[in-house]
Amino acid sequence: MSDTPRPEGSLDPQAWETFRASAHSALDTMIDHLAGLRDKPVWQAPPAETRARFQSPLPQAGESFDDVLDTFRADILPYGSGNTHPMFMGWVQGAGTPVGMVADMLAAGINANCGGRDHIALDVERQIVLWMAELFGFPKDSTGLFLTGSSQANFCALIVARRHALGATTRRDGLVNAPQLVAYTSSEAHSCIVQAMELSGIGSAHLRLVPVDSGRAMRVGVLAEMIARDRVAGLTPFLVVGTAGTVNTGAIDDLSGIADLCAAQKLWFHVDGALGALAALSPEVAPSLRGLERADSIAFDFHKWTHVPYDAGFLLVRDPQAHKAAFANPAAYLQREPEGLAAGETWPVDLGPDLSRSFRALKAWFTFKVHGAAGLGGVIAQTCGLAQQLATQIEASDDFVLAAPVRLNIVCFRPAGRNADLVRDIVMDLHTSGTAAPSMTQLDGAPVIRAAILNHRTTADDIQTFLTEVRASMGRVEMRHRVEP
């Protein structure tokens, strides 16, 4: 390729061949990093000097790309949050993939604005919508779109359900003179459901937290009683949010039971499937999601169990008219034309709050094309198997007890017959030692160690090592407690 000089003022490289060499070396850096993950600590805190380098004034003159790359290698790359590492089990976070990484670079190169207009990126996004409709047994004309994450997707679903319940005038009048809407979810639902109620203007006081059973799934009988009571009180129930894979323990609500109730009561049935919905990719795990195919809408994250690089949340809605009615607007600059760049009937901007949007669909498309539904489903089944392995070992041990049933891939446990305060110290000790990264949560008011096993890099040996490391850490922490009581 000819090395044409750049036009005055352009941000393109002065010499493409020099840039090419730097860019290739950047790619090599990342490939070496991913290939060598296992030999690095899961996590390490950035030293104070490193953090201080991010307090510098606005750079007036630029530096060379190579120099900035070197700074990235020294000051940024070693201090990630650990979720790419096989011993990371802390939170429900995906690990990314090498293919997804390259796809994201390709998307940045194309630099499509995916709010609308007529270009292939929107066909790629519609392809993902079609694939998801097929996977979840939704109609072919279902609508969907990428959003940052399930927090956003759950919020948007609530906005669709609110518009559906109150009609078109609510977009103009808000909630003034509207019937008092009430929504329902379980006490184990993610905090973003509460937040969505706050943001929607309906208010969290109008979200009922339905109690859960011993498996931490919503008690549908109690849900029915709550709905009946609210109707008697003159309120307007409109939405039930079921959870497929709770963030605490991976519990799955009785989605069929909720679907029956919502059908009988004419309520919008939304599923927060951030973690668990994509378990539909695994023939072994999919049966536990029965009823999901009857939802009005599903929120889920490609960036969790299918390891599409952040961020890649998604909302799927059964009724395209209901979906569009909540967001589409007639601004002149969003007008559609029969031909040219402004063609196309439904644009993502009609389906959500974002206008400018990145080409998130490309990294998801590459992930499904390269790994296949079977490959991704295999990872899901494998990590559930590892969670069962860990649970079995914990149950067979005399120093740990299981704190909740293991439905999917999350294992909550605590030291047997010891001070509950140990839990926090053990988890912190493991993080700072860099050996493993579980997290801590509260179940019934008591702290537990939580291992969320999502990572496609985690092996059966890693699970063995994890338990060994937790024991070693418990020893260190108990020693410390004895020395400084």
Ligand X SMILES: *Cc1c(COP(=O)(O)O)cnc(C)c1O
Kindly tell me the sign of the dihedral angle through the C-alpha atoms of 278, 286, 194, 125: positive
435 binds ligand X (CB under 6 A): no
Q: Which is nearer to ligand X, 163 or 190 (CB)?
A: 190
438 binds ligand X (CB under 6 A): no
387 binds ligand X (CB under 6 A): no
Among 90, 96, 100, 149, binds ligand X (CB under 6 A): 149
Q: Least distance to ligand X from the beta carbon of 93, Å? A: 8
Count residues near ligand X (CB under 6 A).
Answer: 15
Q: Least distance to ligand X from the beta carbon of 359, Å? A: 18
Which of 348, 274, 279 lies closest to 312, judged by CA? 274
Q: Do residues 123 and 131 touch, judged by C-beta distance below 8 A?
A: no
Helices (H), 150-269: 150-166, 169-173, 191-200, 220-232, 255-265
Q: What is the DSSP string of 131-169?
A: HHHHHHT--TT-EEEEES-HHHHHHHHHHHHHHHHH-TH
Q: Least distance to ligand X from the beta carbon of 167, Å? A: 28
Q: Do residues 179 and 236 touch, judged by C-beta distance below 8 A?
A: yes
Q: Report 289-328 residues binding ligand X (CB under 6 A).
A: 301, 313
How far apart (Å, rounded) are the C-alpha atoms in residues 367 and 103? 8
Q: Which is nearer to ligand X, 97 or 409 (CB)?
A: 409
Q: What is the DSSP string of 331-381?
A: -GGG---SSSTT--S--GGGTSS-SS---HHHHHHHHHHHHHHHHHHHHHH
Write down how long the chain is. 485
Q: Do residues 312 and 360 touch, judged by C-beta distance below 8 A?
A: yes
Which of 424, 426, 383, 427 lies closest to 406, judged by CA? 383
413: β partners: 402, 449
Q: Which is nearer to ligand X, 186 or 458 (CB)?
A: 186
Q: Least distance to ligand X from the beta carbon of 139, Å? A: 25
For residues 20 to 59, the per-residue mask of contacts with ligand X, x marking binding by CB under 6 A and - elsewhere, is ----------------------------------------
Q: Least distance to ligand X from the beta carbon of 198, Å? A: 15
As a dihedral over the C-alpha atoms of residue 197, residue 200, residue 201, residue 205, rounded to 10 degrees, the angle is: -10
For residues 213 to 252, the per-residue mask of contacts with ligand X, x marking binding by CB under 6 A and - elsewhere, is ------------------------------x-xxx-----
How far apart (Å, rounded) are the C-alpha atoms in residues 209 and 253? 13
Among 190, 318, 407, 450, binds ligand X (CB under 6 A): 190
Q: Least distance to ligand X from the beta carbon of 410, Å? A: 10
* Angle formed by the axes of helices 255-265 and 220-232, nearest 10°: 20
Q: Which residue has the tokens 């090395």?
A: 3
151 binds ligand X (CB under 6 A): yes
Interface region with ligand X, contact rule CB under 6 A, candidates 7-15, 149-157, 178-186, 357-365: 149-157
Q: Report 246-275 residues binding ligand X (CB under 6 A).
A: 246-247, 272, 274-275
How far apart (Å, rounded) are the C-alpha atoms in residues 48 and 272? 39
For residues 75 to 114, the per-residue mask of contacts with ligand X, x marking binding by CB under 6 A and - elsewhere, is -----------------x----------------------
150 binds ligand X (CB under 6 A): yes
Q: Least distance to ligand X from the beta carbon of 222, Å? A: 20
Q: Which is nearer to ligand X, 149 or 377 (CB)?
A: 149
Q: Least distance to ligand X from the beta carbon of 243, Å? A: 6
Q: Which is nearer to ligand X, 151 or 473 (CB)?
A: 151
Q: Least distance to ligand X from the beta carbon of 57, Å? A: 33
Q: Which is nearer to ligand X, 117 or 190 (CB)?
A: 190
Among 166, 192, 218, 281, binds ligand X (CB under 6 A): 192
User: Half-sphere exposure of 142 toward its Cβ, with a 13 Å CA cutoff?
Assistant: 27
Q: Least distance to ligand X from the beta carbon of 272, Å? A: 5
Label the pairing between strands 143-147 and 446-452.
unpaired
Interface region with ligand X, contact rule CB under 6 A, candidates 131-139, 147-155, 253-261, 468-476: 147-155
**How far does Cα 364 stand from its chain's mean position?**
13
Q: Least distance to ligand X from the beta carbon of 341, Å? A: 32
**Gyration radius (Cα) of the chain, Å:** 25
User: Which parts of this chain interact with ligand X (CB under 6 A)?
Assistant: 92, 149-151, 190, 192, 243, 245-247, 272, 274-275, 301, 313
